[in-house]
Structure 1
């Protein structure tokens, strides 16, 4: 149990060490899309808990979703980096997301299950991949919409 706690804390905090390398302007620019997607992923987590799509046997804290360390750590920071390197080129964005999401779904999920962090219950890996694909499209669309609206306001 103690080893799992250490893994979870490392998973939450290590990605944040890369934020200074991202740059202040990139952080500010891509923060809206990342926050939108983090809120969406949190709401999805509550739905998944209710529908038993997956199960986190290790409670992070009472009344806190088990996936919060994933959302606030690698998902949040990874979204910022993904948008920084690919925003403006949708094909490149989707290719990178498919690679990252496939790595998570087909490799990391095995490790997470082995250490007792999460198990899929009423959803299979392919369906999880489709959920990730949907989230990727939504995040890109939100960021595009956000930039379109605010770029338009600045020019007027």
Structure 2
């Protein structure tokens, strides 16, 4: 268990080492979409806990979902990088998300289960993949709407 908690801490912090490599304009441009999705995924985690879709035996603190290290670590930072390089190219965005989500679902999840971090309960891997796909499209759609109605800066991809 001690190594798993250390792993959770490293998983949360290590992705942040790449954030300085993003320029401020990219960070500002995509922050609303990334925050929206992080809040959505955290809310989904509470629902998933109640519906027993998956189970995190460890929690960060009591009443805090165990997936927060995933959400505010690799998911948060990774979303910036994916949007930075694929926004405006929906097919590429979708392909990259499907590949990354599939690697997570079919390989990384097995590792997480082995170390006692998470396991699926009432959700199959295929259903989890579909859930990831829906969230990917939702984040992209949110970014499109945000740029259409709120983001006034001009930029180049």
Same fold (TM over 0.5): yes
Alignment of 1:2-81 (within 5 A): 2-81=2-81
* Residue in structure 2 matched with residue 110 of structure 1 by the alignment: 110
- Could you report, residue by residue, the CA deviation over 1:3-59 in whole angstroms, capped at 9, with x for unpaired residues? 001100010000000000011110000001100100100110010000000000112
* Root-mean-square deviation (Å): 1.2
Structure 2 residue ranges without an equivalent (≥5): none
The whole-number CA distance in structure 1 between the counterparts of 2:120 and 2:132 is 14
- Runs of 4+ residues deviating >4 angstroms: none
The whole-number CA distance in structure 2 between the counterparts of 1:59 and 1:6 is 13
* Residue in structure 2 matched with residue 126 of structure 1 by the alignment: 126
User: How far apart are residue 154 of structure 1 and its match?
Assistant: 7.0
Q: How many residues align?
A: 154
